[in-house]
Amino acid sequence: MPMNRLLYLLLPLMMLVASCNREKQPATPAEVSNSLADIKAKGKLTVVTDYSSTNYFIYRGQPLGYQYEMLQELANYLDVKLELRVNSDLEKSFNLLNTGEVDLIAENIIITRERKEKVDFTIPYARSRQVLVQRKPNKWRSLNKKQLEDALIRNPLDLAGKTVYVQQNSAHVSRLRHLAEEIGDTIGIMEVAENAEQLIYLVSIGEIPYTISDEILARVNQTYFSDLDVETAISFHQNMGWAVRKGADELLTELNGWMSEFLTSKRFKAIYARYFENSKSGEILNSDYYAINSGKISPYDDLIRHYSEKLGWDWRLLASMIYQESHFKNDATSWAGAFGLMQLMPATARRYGVDVNSPARDQIRAGTDFIGWLNKQFKDIPDEAERVKFILAAYNIGPGHIIDARNLARKNGANPNQWEGNVESFLLRKSDPVYYNDPVVKYGYCRGTETYRYVHEVLERYTHYKNIVIPQKE
């Protein structure tokens, strides 16, 4: 076959392959929207942070954390929903930011010249030094001050020939490299995947000899592990800030304006004190229900896993629902007579063979049996994730009102199988006589705001549980 004929036949195929390859390429920063208006139009601020005992964690079923609470304040200020993603590798977070998967990185990022070439930073919200984290010698309490000081590294020069473990891609790596140059000797730098807090823990149990941390985090962890010493600084004080994409000037201006006011507010001071000045904060880390360490959400996790498996649900979803109902309090009662972990109404409880004196196992069994029954009532909703929203709503307010809202949605041209922006809107309208007197409505008036919030809060908490609590492997 002549070459020009062959090229003629292959050209469409080559163009198709090139087109497919282009489609697979990630967005470049120039292609990503930097508009604050777009964030507000979406109604959502997507943020990546890291999990730790100060920044973001689950404790007794509730999301908490210094960064988490500040971000909630920011989201409220912007009047948008907060969507959190978790990542402990800063380079990966930079990639998520610059490809448009997140709008903001919110963690204790040390601002360096190198990093300013990749992203733009907010005004600093904190300053901290990098410190050496080392373990005090055995029986250190019996040593006098001089003996203790002699057993510890106090001069960074003495790190020569030592091995220090630090998180990969962290500012601690470059600081150690510069320090090695300054002292004219070798420092063994072991870059590992574990984050700073995990490395501090490994120092505390003697698994590794040294690590580097910012002083704020190090001092918080020292309250948990009394055998740690964090007094040796290896840097000057450095600024910390949040990061946005290059060119996101409108968002950056808004963030800086909010932050400059918020950092002087009583609310910020209260948040800071809760995580960094609270002598009881060590109780969190040592609790069985500090989820980062224990993987536990509640005292009832095993029962929740068992009965959620029968439902075909992620156990963390059922756990979020139970927290919403009772905060995991087995003796909880409501003004309307609902009781127990699942807050079953007496009539429903009798239907499933339980009462106020029934043990937790029977209450969870009865509650999940009821959820299974609700699943059958909405089996015509094909998308399982959507069906869950209808089940949650029906559990809260009863299936009749949800059926009414679906009928109203169908009559008014909305999607009866879609919760957000469709059926939920008509549930909210069932307090309006124009709607609750409509012939398709069989169950009359209802105030749907509580149910609207219920579905949103259960699913939001479920997202936090998924961020922090990793499913157990079979």
211 forms beta bridges with: 133, 165
Cα dihedral 23→28→30→35 (10° resolution) = 90
Helices (H), 295-446: 301-311, 315-326, 346-351, 360-377, 384-397, 399-411, 424-428, 433-436
Give every CB contact of residue 229 below 8 A, 6+ residues apart in sequence: 133, 134, 135, 136, 152, 222
Tokens 């959620």 correspond to what residue? 308
In contact, 307 and 322? CB cutoff 8 Å:
no
> Could you tell me how far CA 337 lies from the centroid of its own chain?
34
Tell me the chain's radius of gyration from C-alpha atoms.
27
Nearest to 92 by CA among 170, 200, 164: 170
Q: Sign of the C-alpha dihedral, residues 388, 392, 395, 401?
A: negative
Query: How many residues can be counted in the chain?
Result: 474
Bridge partners for 224 per DSSP: none
Say if residues 139 and 165 touch (Cβ distance below 8 Å): no
Burial 397-432 (b: 16+ CB within 10 A, else e): bbbebbbbbbbbbbeeebebbbbeebbbbbbbbbee
Residue 325 catalytic? Answer: yes
Among 197, 325, 386, 424, the active-site one is 325
Please check whether residue 424 is in contact with residue 452, taking contact to mean a CB–CB distance below 8 angstroms.
Answer: yes
3-class secondary structure, 45: strand
In whole angstroms, give the CA distance from residue 448 to residue 177. 60
Q: Backbone phi, then psi, for 31, in 5-degree steps?
A: -90, -10
Q: Residue 5, exposed/middle/buried by CB under 10 A (0-12, 13-18, 19+)? A: exposed
Q: Which residues contact 207 (CB under 8 A, 6 or more apart)?
A: none
Which active-site residues does the annotation give?
Answer: 325
